[in-house]
């Protein structure tokens, strides 16, 4: 298994941005950017929920990695 820590941490950035877009918070709650939130809410419900499930999994897995509960580095695997 290769080192996946950087990939997970990098994937957390768009996952959090999509979550903020979905909720209309952060920069997407500002009146100037609210149109992005409204356009996103017009997408099919199944698409929005599936995107949010993937985002939640990425964020949860990244949090587990950051808390040190799972180690995905190549050096954590020992071979006998």
DSSP 21-73: HHHT-GGGGSTTTHHHHHHHHTS-HHHHHHHHHHHHHHHHHHHHHHTTSS--S
In a domain, 79, yes or no: no
Average pLDDT over residues 3-27: 92
In a domain, 27, yes or no: yes
Residue 78 pLDDT greater than 70, yes or no: no
Confidence at residue 74, expressed as pLDDT on a 0 to 100 scale: 64
Residue 24's domain spans which residues? Answer: 5-74
In a domain, 80, yes or no: no
Residue 80 pLDDT greater than 90, yes or no: no
Q: Count Cβ atoms below 10 Å from residue 72 Cβ, excluding itself.
A: 17
Torsion sign across C-alpha atoms 67, 71, 74, 79: positive
In a domain, 20, yes or no: yes
10 or 73, which is more confident?
10
- How many separate domains does the chain show? 1
């Amino acid at each position: 298994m290769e080192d996946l820590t950087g990939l997970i941490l990098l994937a957390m950035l768009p996952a959090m941005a999509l979550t903020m877009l979905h909720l209309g918070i952060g920069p997407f709650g500002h009146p100037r950017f609210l149109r992005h939130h409204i356009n996103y809410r017009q997408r099919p419900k199944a698409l929005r929920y599936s995107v949010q499930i993937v985002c939640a999994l990425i964020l949860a897995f990244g949090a587990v990695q950051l808390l040190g509960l799972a180690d995905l580095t190549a050096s954590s695997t020992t071979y006998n």
